[in-house]
Amino acid sequence: MAQINEATLAQLLSEHFEIDADQLRPNATFDELELDSLAVMELVVVIEEQTGLELVEEDLGLGPTSTLAEAAQALNRAVDEAHTDSNSAQGSALR
């Protein structure tokens, strides 16, 4: 999973949280989807499992009023940073 767009996020939410696809719009908030902070953390864990990366939930800045579009952007930034950190660590270990 290279990029996390709204469609990917919607698919994960539908599969793992059994949310009706009609509710999964880019401007839908986690609160509107009846997902609390624990559910958001569970979503991050699902993404970690699929990407093989460790993401820091606190750094994502996601909360009940975050939209799926905002979540996708925050997750993409976190995945990009984790890939960059991982590549830097591998490069420095090779020196």
Distance CA 35, CA 9 (A): 13
Alpha-carbon torsion, ordered 87, 61, 4, 49, to 10 deg: 70
Place of tokens 């994960």: 12
* pTM of the complete model: 0.80
Per-residue pLDDT of the chain (95 residues; tens, 9 = 90+): 557 888 889 999 999 999 999 999 999 999 999 999 999 999 999 998 988 888 888 889 998 899 999 999 998 888 888 777 666 655 434 33
User: What domains can be seen in the chain, in order of their start residue?
Assistant: 21-83 (1.10.1200.10)
Distance CA 60, CA 31 (A): 17
| Both structure tokens of 59 | 């750094």
